Every structure is written in C-alpha cells, then in structure tokens.
C-alpha cells in the first residue's frame, strides 16, 4: 500500500502484538531525515516513523504550509495549507495503523518548529487519535485546529512542551502563551525552557525521553 506521506521507519527492537508509535514531524524547509537522525536514541519498544511534509520547496526542503512575507516584511502563514496538512497527518496516522502493527491507543507526535505547530493542531483537533505530544520550539495556533476543537475530550491527552529562551525564529513568549490556553481545556501539560536558540538542547532531548518513559 502506498501511504500518503513519504516516510522513514525504524522498527521496534522489542516486538509486541501491537507496538506504540512515535511520529516525527520536521520543521519548515527541512525533511524527514532531520529528526530521524536521533531515531536510534528513542525507546526500543516504539515504531519511530518520520514523515516528509507535503509541500515541496525544492532541493530537499519541504513545508507543512507556506510562510509568506508582505511588502513590510511581515510574516503570515498559509492557514489553508496548514489545515490541509493537519488533516493529511490525521489521515496518515490511520494509514500507519492499518499498515503496521501499531497500537492505536498509544500514538505520540514529536514535532519541531512548524512540525510542533502541526502536532498541536492535530492533537487538539483529533485527541482520539493522539495520546501524547512532544512539542518543541513551536506554539499552539487555534486557527489551524478544527472549528469546534474546544468541545473535544482532552482527558487522555498529555503534552511535553519545550522552547529555547533565546529562540530567534519563534519567540519563547508565543510558546508561553500556549500553556494557559491548553490548561483551560484540561490538557495535562509540562513546559520546560532551555538556554538555547531555535534547536533541541541535549537536556531537552533527555527530559522528553524521561517523560515518555513515565
């Protein structure tokens, strides 16, 4: 079966009837090999699958949605493309569960930057499909979630969010604002900051692995 998103797979080293899934979503202008570079450092019982975003920016770069600049150099996101990617990812999760022996009740999204923004949108829109999110260097944008997302049941959704305090690409304030928005919805969220820019600090990696193991 040909799945809707090109992806890389690290099979679990400990095989069960059904294994949990870690789905990796890369940032703007990157590709599926970026986060997959640390796949072998992730827990052995998981399927680790890294997806390539659908919009081709040429030269091995891909995006979940376009970021455009106006004449005054203000950035704005293509919300239509972002919502399309949200639903492509939600559908891709279903495809993976059909294709591999994955436990549909044990799905974690790990997103960085734009992949983090999409991870939030998918989990908040379809919490029945996603149980955990590792949200790195991004924020929650309600415009990308489904219109009635606030009516969803988030009692089983857990989020580990992290951000660099000197991030030049996505200000840490944007991430901080996301936390109370999610807590009001009843989402269980842990938020940590690290003295780094727009990247994943070794301590951040260690902390989210520890969080996963709990």
- Find, among 116, 189, 124, the residue nearest to 151 by Cα: 124
- Whether 2 maps to a domain, the answer reads no
- Find, among 80, 75, 105, the residue nearest to 93 by Cα: 105
Q: What are the angstrom distances between the C-alpha of 193 and each of 27, 31, 62, 172, 197?
A: 19, 25, 27, 8, 11
Q: CATH no. for residue 128? A: 3.40.50.1820
CA pair distance 25, 41, nearest whole angstrom: 17
69, pLDDT greater than 90: no
- Whether 17 maps to a domain, the answer reads yes
Q: Six-digit token pair at 99?
A: 């294709």
- Whether 42 maps to a domain, the answer reads yes
Question: Per-residue pLDDT tens for 151-209?
Answer: 999 999 999 999 999 999 999 999 999 999 999 999 999 999 999 999 999 999 999 99
- Under a CB-based contact definition with an 8 Å cutoff, are residues 213 and 185 in contact? no
- Under a CB-based contact definition with an 8 Å cutoff, are residues 55 and 81 in contact? yes
Provide Rg for the chain, Cα atoms: 16
CA pair distance 176, 70, nearest whole angstrom: 27
- Whether 86 maps to a domain, the answer reads yes
Q: How many domains does the chain have?
A: 1
pLDDT of residue 68: 75
- Whether 144 maps to a domain, the answer reads yes
75, pLDDT greater than 90: no
DSSP string of 145-210, one letter each residue: S-TTGGGS--TT-EEEEEEETT-SSS-HHHHHHHHHHHHHTT-EEEEEEES-SSS--HHHHHHHHH
- Whether 1 maps to a domain, the answer reads no
Question: Per-residue pLDDT tens for 79-120?
Answer: 999 999 999 999 999 999 999 999 999 999 999 999 999 999
Q: Name the pTM for this structure.
A: 0.95
- Whether 153 maps to a domain, the answer reads yes
Pairing of strands 67-69, 75-77: antiparallel
Alpha helices in 100-194 (DSSP H): 114-125, 172-184
Question: Per-residue pLDDT tens for 110-153?
Answer: 999 999 999 999 999 999 999 999 999 999 999 999 999 999 99
- Whether 75 maps to a domain, the answer reads yes
pLDDT of residue 63: 96
* Structural domain boundaries enclosing 14: 7-213
């Amino acid at each position: 079966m040909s799945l809707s998103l090109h992806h890389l797979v690290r099979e679990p080293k400990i095989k069960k009837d059904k294994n949990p899934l870690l789905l990796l979503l890369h940032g703007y202008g990157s590709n599926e090999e970026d986060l997959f570079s640390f796949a072998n450092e992730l827990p052995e019982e998981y399927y680790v699958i890294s997806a390539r975003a659908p919009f081709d920016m040429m030269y091995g770069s891909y995006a979940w949605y376009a970021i455009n600049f106006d004449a005054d150099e203000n950035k704005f996101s293509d919300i239509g493309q972002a919502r399309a990617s949200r639903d492509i990812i939600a559908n891709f999760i279903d495809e993976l569960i059909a294709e591999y022996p994955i436990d549909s009740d044990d799905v974690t999204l790990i997103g960085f930057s734009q992949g983090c923004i999409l991870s939030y949108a998918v989990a908040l829109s379809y919490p029945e499909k996603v149980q955990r999110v590792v949200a790195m260097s991004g924020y929650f944008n309600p415009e990308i979630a489904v219109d009635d997302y606030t009516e969803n049941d988030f009692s089983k959704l857990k989020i580990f969010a992290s951000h660099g305090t000197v991030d030049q690409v996505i200000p840490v304030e944007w991430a901080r604002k996301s936390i109370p928005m999610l807590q009001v919805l009843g989402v269980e969220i842990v938020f940590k900051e690290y003295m780094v820019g727009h990247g994943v600090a070794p301590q951040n990696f260690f902390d989210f692995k520890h969080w996963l193991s709990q």
